[in-house]
Amino acid sequence: MSATAIIADWKKGKWKPVYWVEGEEDYYIDQVLNYAEHQLLSDAEASFNLSVFYGRDAAWPDVVNACKRYPMFAEKQVVLIKEAQHMRDIDKLESYLEQPLDSTILVIGYKEKKLDNRRKFAKLIKDKGVLVSTKKLYEQDLRAFAEALVQTKGLSIQPMALSLLIDHIGSDMQRIENELEKLVVNLADRKTITADDIERFIGISKEYNVFELQSALAKKDTARCLRIVSYFEANPKAGPIQLILPSLYGFFSKVFMLYGVNGGDDKAIAATLGVPSFFLKDYKSATRNFDYAATEKVLLLLHQYNLRSVGMGTPGATDASLLKELVMKILL
């Protein structure tokens, strides 16, 4: 079961006595806990039937006592443990998990870690309730997540706008949701989010960004590359080298993969590379200017400059100087 499925069940009035949500993706853990805290009970019911504990401060006897209470003026009560990875003696909840009350919904958020499935504690949770493990999303999954989120708001988003948003924010799913909420407010009656909207309302330049740098490098457009790099130098937050280097490495890795693709239409090739077909023209453009050996050389350069960006070999070098030097070597 997923975090989304848990909430879907709750909306239908279906619940189990125990929910354990763990793993690397805080967004889904917080989503379940927030829904449980604010939606499972009415305001009047929550006054008597909601107990919230925090891992660092929670004592297991207090949690067990809260879970064993019967609801007042309601059919159920909710007990939450947030940041449970910090809770001492959490295993001592075993005694309650063996016979949990059907009228109590115990929801536990366990971030950055996972239970050992061989232990009795994990087996009890699976037997009596629900255990969900979350994982960080890859870029392609982030695109699907953001697109689905846009669709739930009755909107669509242009491919470039979506790429700008994800590249700028990265894997912070809660921030992606927050920025989309901001866009919804500012779109008025329009139904499509454009690159202009991203630039205007979120502050990401549609002309000076890593995708434009990739496109310029693919075409070996030296003047344009230098304009973009100069913009990054003047606006460090717009293009931190820690974000640019992985993006460029991802781009040229897919150019490298393109040499191994045997035919097929653009849609099939894009699917093989794991990229939106909208951007395939840039990858094909790169193959016209970087042959197999040149692409391999670029990948090695990116690896070297990634090490240098964290101080290995050239301590004291600025990000801007490293990026300029790297771009010129790629263009040679």
My answer on whether 214 and 287 are in the same domain is yes
Q: What are phi and psi of 131, to 5 degrees?
A: -120, 125
Residue ending a domain, among 134, 156, 177, is 134
Mean per-residue pLDDT for 150-165?
Answer: 90
My answer on whether 315 and 240 are in the same domain is yes
- Sign of the C-alpha dihedral, residues 224, 225, 231, 237? positive
Q: How confident is the model at residue 255 (pLDDT cuts 50, 70, 90)?
A: very high
Of 62 and 168, the structure prediction assigns the larger pLDDT to: 62
Mean per-residue pLDDT for 148-169?
Answer: 89
My answer on whether 293 and 277 are in the same domain is yes
My answer on whether 240 and 187 are in the same domain is no
Q: Is the pLDDT of residue 111 over 80?
A: yes
How confident is the model at residue 141, as a pLDDT? 84
- CATH number of the domain where residue 104 is located: 3.40.50.300
Residue ending a domain, among 108, 134, 160, is 134
My answer on whether 94 and 177 are in the same domain is no
My answer on whether 130 and 149 are in the same domain is no
Q: How confident is the model at residue 214 (pLDDT cuts 50, 70, 90)?
A: very high
The Cα 86–Cα 33 span in angstroms is: 16
- CATH number of the domain where residue 293 is located: 1.20.272.10
Residue ending a domain, among 202, 232, 253, is 202
How confident is the model at residue 294, as a pLDDT? 96
Q: Is the pLDDT of residue 8 over 90?
A: yes
- CATH number of the domain where residue 152 is located: 1.10.8.60
How confident is the model at residue 142, as a pLDDT? 86
The helix, strand and coil proportions of the chain, stated in percent and rounded to the nearest 5, come to 60, 10, 30
My answer on whether 256 and 302 are in the same domain is yes
How confident is the model at residue 188, as a pLDDT? 81
The Cα 303–Cα 248 span in angstroms is: 10
Number of domains present in the structure of the chain: 3
My answer on whether 148 and 128 are in the same domain is no
My answer on whether 81 and 172 are in the same domain is no
As a whole number, the mean pLDDT across the chain is: 91
Domain containing 51 equals 3-134
Q: Is the pLDDT of residue 5 over 80?
A: yes
Which range is least confidently modeled, 24-28, 53-57, 233-237? 233-237
My answer on whether 309 and 239 are in the same domain is yes
How confident is the model at residue 100, as a pLDDT? 96
Note whether 147 and 180 are within 8 A (CB): no
Q: How confident is the model at residue 58 (pLDDT cuts 50, 70, 90)?
A: very high
My answer on whether 29 and 123 are in the same domain is yes
How confident is the model at residue 236, as a pLDDT? 86
Q: How confident is the model at residue 50 (pLDDT cuts 50, 70, 90)?
A: very high
My answer on whether 116 and 184 are in the same domain is no
